Amino acid sequence: MLDRRKFLAGLAVGAAGLLVPKGKLPAFPAQKGAKPAPKPKDEKYAMAVVKGGDPTLVTRKAIDLIGGMGSFVSRGDVVLVKPNIGWDRTEEQAANTNPLVVAALVTMALEAGAKKVVVADNPCNDARRTYKRSGIEDAAKKAGAEVLFMEDRHYVKTNLNGEVLKDWLVFRGALDANKIINVPIAKHHGLGGITLMMKNLMGVTGGARNLMHQRLPESIVDLQAFFKPQLNVLDAIRILKANGPQGGSTKDVEKLDTVAASADPVRLEAWGISLFGKKIENFPAVALAEKRGLGIKDFRSSGFIEVNLG
């Protein structure tokens, strides 16, 4: 399995013929300075941005560049893949995570030996419609995931121990999972400016979560600090640049064919902001998260790689 995946990835970058079993090479030393050229496939980067290609390939390549799914998911794990399935919108309207990106992550997690992969979200519109219309329900099921609606009885009152969030209803699946893969889409948001990694975690909470808007940056950092997803992926296959977070007009959508992945959500958050041409300083959640040791905002620092498959 591993070999085939690596092989595909290898083909994609045009670095063929080097089918060395993984694990025999030492971890690649951190890269400094300018954007490094694509390296042989077994190097492990801290953050990868891959663009230009089919969402499945782009996602696979991004994960492979940061060490492969095997370095995040272990055999027998129960994995929660948490996309944004918040809105009754289609893939083209870019209000929800791209279904192929979700499906690719499900497939890879299963290939890495996960016992079960759950895909779920607590959406803003009716779950039946958002799951269907986003394309995620069908794509994730086809990839072998268990697609769950978050029903009332699935929430457990949990102390999040945050700066502003204390007792909240939390989706049991997020507590039960051994690994969480957080995979939002990058899009415009009225209050937050842009919604990216950390805000997506609101989707594993229930109750009066719209109260979080009163202290949004602190709230989403609290969520990140509590859940600490092991793998973070940001979908920028399409980004929504206005009228977010639910959009509706494809005029507001830009197709970038890009996916970024890292263990560090703050780097992805910062990179996501840069996609919109905005200043990271204007997004207080990023600095807050860095201050609390949840990641680093200088996403171009050590171990950053950008690959264009196109």
Partner 1 sequence: MMKNLRRVSQIVFFLFFVYLFIQTEYKGRNELGLPVRLFLDFDPLVALSSLLASHAVRAVFLFSLVTVALTIVLGRFFCGWVCPLGAINTAIGGLRMRRLKPGRSEGRFPRWRPVKYYVLVFVLVAAIFGWNAAGFLDPISLTIRSLAIGYNPAINKIARSALEAGIGFNIPLVSPGLDALYTKMTGTVLSFNQPIFRQSLFIGLIFTAILGLNFLAPRFWCRYLCPLGALLGLIGWKQIGARVANDKDKCISCRKCVVACQGDATPFPPGEWASRECLVCYNCREVCPASAISITAGARNTGDGNVDLERRWLLASGIGALLVVPAIATGVQRKRTDPSLIRPPGALPEQEFVRRCVKCGECMKVCLTNGLHPTFAEAGLEGLWTPILVPRLGYCEFNCNLCSQVCPTGAIRPVTVAEKQKIHIGLAFVDKNRCLPYAFKRQCIVCEEHCPTPEKAITFVEEPAIDERGAMVILKKPVVNPDLCIGCGICETKCPVIDRPAIYVTAINESRAEENQLFLKI
User: Which residues of this protein are in contact with partner 1, per CB under 8 A?
Assistant: 88, 124-126, 128-129, 132-133, 148-149, 151, 153, 189-191, 208, 210-211, 213-216, 243, 245-249, 252
Q: Is the dihedral of CA 245, 264, 307, 101 positive or negative?
A: negative
The residue (of 195 and 262) whose beta carbon lies closer to partner 1 is: 195
Closest CA to 232 of 281, 196, 274, 204: 196
Neighbouring residues of 48: CB distance < 8 A, sequence distance ≥ 6: 61, 62, 63, 65, 66, 260, 261, 262, 304, 305, 306, 307
The residue (of 114 and 216) whose beta carbon lies closer to partner 1 is: 216
Closest CA to 176 of 197, 199, 196, 150: 150
Min separation Cβ 231 and partner 1, Å = 27
The residue (of 4 and 213) whose beta carbon lies closer to partner 1 is: 213
Min separation Cβ 82 and partner 1, Å = 19
Closest CA to 115 of 56, 182, 176: 176
Min separation Cβ 104 and partner 1, Å = 24
The residue (of 76 and 190) whose beta carbon lies closer to partner 1 is: 190
Min separation Cβ 126 and partner 1, Å = 5
Question: Residue 235 pairs with which residues in a beta bridge?
Answer: 185, 259
The residue (of 94 and 114) whose beta carbon lies closer to partner 1 is: 94
Closest CA to 230 of 99, 67, 6: 67
Min separation Cβ 251 and partner 1, Å = 8
